[in-house]
Structure 1
Amino acid sequence: MLNDLQQRKMAHLFALLDVDDDGAVDKMDYTASADRLVNAFGFAPGSTESRRVRERYARLWDEVTLPMDVNGDERVDLGEFTAGFDRFVTQPEEGYRTHVAPVADAFYDLMDTDGDGRITRTEYLRMAGSAFRMSEADGLIAFERLDLDANGSLSRQELHLANEQFFRSPDAHAHGNWLFGPLPPRI
């Protein structure tokens, strides 16, 4: 069962993923997010990079998000989303590695535009703004919190650690809580 912090993280991510702000996440939201991401990095719609990101998003939709849909309307509301992430990603030991890590790897490969094996602040901000509609200020805060060795870039290991902490950790002090920027205040 998710604690208050984990529920807030899921609600925050849900709001970022609900591209059309209709109170539900559906396959179109995932497709739109993938398309914005590849466009922001300058890849053509039919490129290898574009296909890879879209395939990973589609897999995440088909294998994780769609099965969260309790009423069969192919739309996932916040309650279904939160319960589903708990069931598929947070609780199972291999949940992150099975379902989220492949998407994170596709993001990493796409963001690393210069191929140096590191994600710069600029590359991270481009991803955060395009795929998740994060403000530049929130993206900067997130980047600074995730750059554990303060070297001005994120390694693949740092990004995976942040992702896994975001999706699985109940610890309020985990750096990965900042993956998608500051969490909104408690209501």
Structure 2
Amino acid sequence: MAFSEFQTKKLSFAFNKYDVSNDGVLTLSDFEEIAQKVAQKLGINSGSPDHDKIMAAYRAIWDGYFKPADVDGNNKVVLEEYIKACERFIESPSARKMGTNLNKRLYDAIDLDGNGSIDKKEFIVFLTTIGSSETDAKIAFSHLDTDKNGFISREEFVQNLYDYHTTQDTQSPANWFYGSMG
């Protein structure tokens, strides 16, 4: 299965959001840098339990989502590897179940206070840390909060992230997961 041009555009957009070094390559250090920025934005000190939680969550995102795309074992992932890994993943009969489990890791990383829901502030921290404007993050949040209760539930989150990778519907709220593609 090959992704459509629209899906490939979305995957490229997501990849580039995580590429904080802007070198066209994702590594664990990109995710550690993101985690450090999240902690800094929240005023969380290095070495504290909350800091360790954030760092562990972003390392888990690397381990769960991106490291499996590293087919040559060099601990680096380029866009082509990422897209091919996503294609293989989506073709798997257990993709939805595996995706649900992986998406919970990212959810837990964004649910900074650990209360079981992502509020607008937490989502804004997530998106602005990976390069979106605060305005864009607020708009994205309003699309992803599909039941309009002021929070993104685990179910909304998991469904939207899965749909972000799979849907070809250009009007899907899931397309806002990483903000506006402009």
The normalised TM-score by structure 2 is: 0.84
Q: Which amino acid aligns with 2:125?
A: R
1:69 deviation in Å?
Answer: 1.9
Look up the match of 2:100.
Answer: 97
The CA distance in 2 between the partners of 1:88 and 1:150, in whole Å, is: 31
Number of matched pairs: 179
Instruction: Flag the 1:25–1:90 CA change in 2: closer, same or farther, 3 A.
Output: farther
Q: Which runs of 5+ in 2 are unaligned?
A: none
**Is the contact between residue 90 and residue 168 of structure 1 (CA under 8 Å) also seen in structure 2?**
no
Alignment of 1:73 onto 2:74: yes
The CA distance in 2 between the partners of 1:105 and 1:167, in whole Å, is: 19
Instruction: Flag the 1:89–1:49 CA change in 2: closer, same or farther, 3 A.
Output: farther
Look up the match of 2:143.
Answer: 145
1:58 deviation in Å?
Answer: 2.0
Q: Which amino acid aligns with 2:163?
A: Q
1:155 deviation in Å?
Answer: 2.9
Alignment of 1:168 onto 2:166: yes
Look up the match of 1:20.
Answer: 21
**Is the contact between residue 90 and residue 167 of structure 1 (CA under 8 Å) also seen in structure 2?**
no
Q: Which amino acid aligns with 2:121?
A: T
Instruction: Flag the 1:85–1:148 CA change in 2: closer, same or farther, 3 A.
Output: same
The CA distance in 1 between the partners of 2:108 and 2:91, in whole Å, is: 18
SS of 2:110's equivalent in the other structure is helix
The CA distance in 1 between the partners of 2:22 and 2:145, in whole Å, is: 30
Q: Which runs of 5+ in 1 are unaligned?
A: none
Please give the per-residue CA displacement for 1:48-77, whole angstroms capped at 9, x wherever unaligned: 232223223223323442231233332111
The CA distance in 1 between the partners of 2:126 and 2:48, in whole Å, is: 18
**Is the contact between residue 10 and residue 164 of structure 2 (CA under 8 Å) also seen in structure 1?**
yes
Q: Which amino acid aligns with 2:74?
A: D
CA RMSD of aligned residues (A): 2.3
SS of 1:94's equivalent in the other structure is helix
1:89 deviation in Å?
Answer: 5.9
**Is the contact between residue 40 and residue 127 of structure 1 (CA under 8 Å) also seen in structure 2?**
no
